[in-house]
Structure 1
Amino acid sequence: MTTDHINFTFKKLFNYFWIAITGKESEFTSGSIRRAIFMLSIPMILEMLMESIFALVDIAYVSQVSVNAVATIGLTESVVTLIYAVAIGLSMAATAVVSRRIGEKDIQGAKESAVQAIALGILVSLIVGVFGFIYAKEILSIMGAEPDLISEGYGYTQLLLGGNSTIMLLFLINAIFRGAGDASIAMWALVLSNGLNIILDPLFIFGWGPIPEYGVMGAAIATNIGRGTAVLFQLGILFFGWGRIKLAFTDLILNTKVMFNLIRVSLGGIAQFLIGTSSWVFLMRMMSEFGSEVLAGYTIAIRVMLFTLMPSWGMSNAAATLVGQNLGANKPERAETSVWKTGKYNAYFMGLVSVIYLLYAKNIVGWFNATPAVVESGGLCLQIIAAGYIFYAYGMVVTQAFNGSGDTGTPTRINLIAFWAFQLPFAYLAAFYFKLGAMGVFMAITLAEVLLAIISIVLFKKGKWKSFQV
């Protein structure tokens, strides 16, 4: 290969990259499937990468406060994942319905769906916010936190749950952008949100000038400010920006038919993620039995794992958008081909990452906390989970493809089998009955994800999702 050819290839890739992050291409139902995957995946990967970078930076700062502070984040976020379940369930419905309307060239229908989704998100977040703010201490206690941990960390829990509307709307509006094919806008919203979080985190955690030292609660303050600012940015784009969906104030009308259609589609998604995330809550409760140091190691390992799972979710979200738009354009075979190609690219990426984690897990965990018990627990967790990464790659893409078609019921049933029927009983028996301790929980996580991937692929090949209507 000549130097000129290499330079040409590099220039071509850079041009594609620039088009992807600036959102200059929005037609994904014709032309090269590989190019469509690239154009959607790049901004979605960068969007998710920003989320995972913030998660790592956040835990790095909080690790300097105390082991209890890290454990507080672990316990709180296991509860916050229940909010994520509702947010992601509604987001899946928004992406599925909006992408289908865009594929059908029905822009007005897409706008109506966007408005109803936002209204639902606001309602749910207000209910959760009031409850979470008032009962923060009780929530930590139920999760098995010791009194000194509750005393130090309840402010973080109170603010994060009380300000959950920023999480809810950030997820939901970005899902609308992705469904419309405007993945670059969703990416820039996350860049703004997490960029602000990274800057504000040390200011509020450790104090600076007139800003007092808030400790772990400062992380929640920074998160709410960062995500709240990003939500204002999103709303500005929706009403005054350049996206494919542009709302006017006259569009802000409740449409019960569209809203109930969204609720119908989202119920499967909400149940799907409630099953998955509630299993994480129970796993975290089991981990709390092994002490704060083991719990802190587990929390750090999960944050590190998210660093690579988030970009993979980016590719999975690209598959969901491609499925929805191509089904709307009556091109089911193109939708299926998009899924298999996306899964293959995701497997390449995850396979490479798994090798790195298997070799350097303890070194990586040690960057965040050098306590021997924390490093031992976190390193073991990361190695065991990384062993199943290639299965995760296909599992994520295929389940998101079901969701993109609007068939959220099939992944819900798969999650029920993999997480409740298998993962939780296996984790309990392995950890406590067979005396494997924390390792038993780690093994349950990996084996459940492998099972999920296998079942998903078998059902996807049957093709019933191609005829699903939303």
Structure 2
Amino acid sequence: MIRRRIFNLAWPAVCEMLLYMLLDFVDVAFVGRLGARPLAAVGLGAQIFFSVIFIFSAMSAGATALIARAIGAGDMRRAGRVAGHALILAFLAGGVVTFVIYRFAGDVAALFRFEPAVQHLAAVYIRITGLSAAFSLVYFIGNGIFRGAGMTRIPLLVAALANVVHIGIEYVLIFGKLGFPALGMRGAAIATACTQVFCCCVVLSLLFSGVTGLRVSLKEVLRSCDFALIKSIVRLSLPAGCEQALMDLGWIIGSFMLAGLGTVPFAAHQVVLTAESLSYMPGYGFAVAATTLVGQNLGARNPDGASANAVTAARMALLVMGGFAFLFLALPGPVVGIFTSDPQVASLGALCLRIAALEQPSIALEMVFAGALRGAGDTRTPAMVTVLSTWLLRIPLLYLSVYVLRFGLPAVWVITALDWSVRAASLTLLFRMGHWKQIEYA
């Protein structure tokens, strides 16, 4: 029964991530036809825009935990109030993000060492997509609301609609079909912005109508704004936002370091990252299930049930991601060959993918137990573990490996595996200690 419940929550989240990956593939396929400069600009612009959005959308961590606990307690009205306050916060934050992105898009793009033409096009992309920031945040927070309520199929369905809308608009605007002018890279940016607005409208219509059983009354929220509830959402979400921001900064610094290894190693690193990202999806799905079920069981005053669900989710994640580990160990060449035909890149990438296989169990445990702690309302512990491991272990060791000892790319992946192992061991131990069972919040 527990396994079935976990599986029913996990598989829609995995499929949702696959659909988002499909959007990335379509972007590359369409924009890649325009040339190297537009492709680089869209890649850079999308990375900057969504990095900012994901930092602020971390406020869904607080909403998800509060809603899961309210659902577990059978209090649908409170769940609706939490959702309403979270949406208002998302829209206000989105307005600020829109202003900042539009004002500083050019300055941020100029920080990256690309030729001026690429920097200019990236700034244009960021400004256009930035106009949809408020809608993007409401959309992502809305997904978090549905996950907290255990309705993981709704974000999946919205993602499926997003694919249809995005691909259709992008094809028409990039290449100038159905009487529209060919806008090239700008068409890709407009398609992304329009898709975010569309998804936001779908999510809001579902929440305001109450057709899913979870209803948000905007009039009630505006008439009786609960500042204590807003404080709880912000307090629970702030660690997750800081975690995301510091992770993004660490990723950028790491990328600058790895660029010093040379073109072939850097290309091989990107190939392995892309291949390994496929294995993250089941871990993400089981983490979503753990977050939801831990929160709901605690809301129902059943901490033992919460623990049992989290441990079972971790075991299921280990089993599935263990399969990816076997694949990466046994067939690294064919896997890497999907993404590159360069023999040097493929050879180095295959070696690193074998090393990446060793970190799959650690990734499974880290994702699930971090999700379980967030579901309990303990958003600080996963944030602290991630930030400390990244900045006190991974970044210093990368600097030592690349600039001092002059080791190659395989050493970088050994360091990455060590980082995941430390995070997984820490979160597993902290979860087992059980302090999260006593957490109470408004």
Which among 349, 374, 396 is matched to residue 425 of structure 1?
396
Equivalent of residue 319 in structure 1, options 282, 290, 293: 290
2:118 is aligned with 1:149 = yes
Amino acid at match of 1:112: R
Residues 1:268 and 1:195: Cα distance change in structure 2 (over 3 Å): same
Moved more, 189-198 or 287-296: 287-296
Cross-structure match for 1:210:
179
Q: Which residue of 2 aligns with 1:39?
A: 8
The aligned counterpart of 1:28 is none
CA contact (8 A) 1:430 1:440 kept: yes
How many angstroms does 1:290 deviate by? 5.7
Q: CA deviation at 1:403?
A: 0.5
CA distance in 1, matches of 2:173, 2:438: 51
Measured after TM superposition, the shift of residue 379 of structure 1 is: 5.7
Unaligned runs of 5+ in 2: none
2:149 alignment partner, one of 148, 157, 180:
180
The answer on whether the counterparts of 2:80 and 2:217 sit within 8 Å (CA) in structure 1 is no
Counterpart contact for 1:424–1:444, Cα < 8 Å: no
Other-structure match for 1:390: 361
Question: What is the distance in 2 between the residues matched to 1:301 and 1:53?
Answer: 18
Indicate the residue corresponding to 2:166 in structure 1: 197
Q: What's 1:135 paired with? A: 104
User: Offset of 1:129 from its aligned partner?
Assistant: 1.8
Report how far residue 97 of structure 1 moved.
0.4
AA aligned opposite 2:283 = S
Note the alpha carbon deviations across 1:165-198, whole angstroms, 9 max, x for none.
3432221001111111222222211111133223
Select which of 381, 389, 392 maps to 1:410. 381
- The DSSP-based 3-state class of the residue aligned with 1:407 is coil
Residue in structure 2 matching 1:271, options 242, 262, 275: 242
- State whether structure 2 residue 313 is matched by structure 1 residue 328: no
- CA-to-aligned-CA distance 1:351-373 (integer Å, 9 cap, x gap): 22233345555655555565667
Following the alignment from structure 2 to structure 1, what is the Cα–Cα distance between the partners of residues 345 and 183? 24
Q: 1:461 aligns with which of 420, 432, 435?
A: 432
Question: Any gaps of 5 or more consecutive residues in structure 1?
Answer: 1-31
1:56 equivalent among 15, 25, 29? 25
1:91-110 map, 5 Å: 91-110=60-79
Structure 2 distance, partners of 1:211, 1:374, is: 41
Kept in 1, the 8 Å contact 2:72–2:299? The answer is yes
Partner Cα distance (1:75, 1:376) in 2: 27
Query: Does the 8 Å CA contact 2:240/2:380 hold for their aligned counterparts?
Result: yes
Q: TM-score, normalised by structure 2?
A: 0.89
1:354 is matched with which residue: 313, 325, 331? 325
Does 2:416 correspond to 1:445? yes
Residue aligning to 1:20: none
Give secondary structure in 1 for the equivalent of 2:59: helix
Question: Deviation of residue 453 (structure 1)?
Answer: 0.8
TM-score with structure 1 length normalisation?
Answer: 0.84
* Matched residues, number: 439
Q: CA deviation at 1:226?
A: 2.1
Specify the code of the residue in structure 2 equivalent to 1:263. V
- Following superposition, the deviation at residue 293 of structure 1 comes to 7.3
- Pick closer, same or farther for the CA change 1:259–1:456 going to 2, 3 Å: same
More displaced 10-residue stretch of structure 1: 457-466 or 129-138: 129-138
Pair 1:164–1:308, CA change in 2 (3 A): farther
Name the counterpart of 2:233. Answer: 262
Deviations 1:253-308 (A, max 9, x none): 23211101111111122122222222112223334556777666655554443343
SS of 2:77's equivalent? helix
Contact 2:258 2:402 in 1 (8 A): no
After superposition, the Cα gap between the structure-2 partners of 1:385 and 1:83, relative to the gap in structure 1 and judged at 3 Å, is farther
- Separation of aligned partners in 1, 2:261 and 2:118: 15
Pair 102,277 (structure 1): closer, same or farther in 2 beyond 3 Å: same
Matches within 5 A, 1:228-307: 228-253=197-222, 254-289=225-260, 298-299=269-270, 301-307=272-278
Instruction: Determine if contact 2:264/2:344 at 8 Å carries over to the other structure.
Output: yes
Give the conservation status (yes or no) of the 8 Å contact 2:139–2:196. Answer: yes
Per the TM alignment, residue 461 of structure 1 is displaced from its structure 2 partner at its CA by: 0.7
Query: What is the CA-CA distance between 1:96 and the residue it aligns to?
Result: 0.1
Q: Please, what is the CA RMSD of the aligned residues?
A: 2.8
Q: Distance in 2 between matches of 1:214 and 1:304?
A: 32
What whole-Å deviation, never above 9, does each CA across 1:173-232 have from its counterpart, x for those lacking one?
A: 011111112222222111111332234444444443534444444333322222321111
Range with bigger deviation, 206-215 or 245-254: 206-215
Say if 2:236 and 2:377, in contact at 8 Å, map to a contact too.
yes
Cross-structure match for 1:7: none
Note closer, same or farther for the CA distance 1:161–1:297 as it changes in structure 2 (3 Å cut): farther
Whole-Å separation in 1 of the counterparts to 2:145 and 2:374: 14
Amino acid at match of 2:103: I
Moved more, 379-388 or 220-229: 379-388
- Kept after mapping to 1: 8 A contact 2:84/2:218: no
Q: Is the 8 A contact 2:292 2:375 kept in 1?
A: yes
Q: Is the 1:56–1:303 Cα contact (8 Å) retained in structure 2?
A: no
1:79 alignment partner, one of 48, 58, 62: 48
* Counterpart amino acid of residue 378 in structure 2: D
Map of 2:94 onto structure 1: 125
Equivalent residue for 1:21? none
Secondary structure, aligned partner of 1:466 = helix
Which whole-Å CA distance do the structure 1 matches of 2:351 and 2:131 have between them?
A: 34
Quote the Cα distance in structure 2 between the aligned partners of 1:307 and 1:278.
23
Cα distance in 2, alignment partners of residues 148 and 380 from structure 1: 36
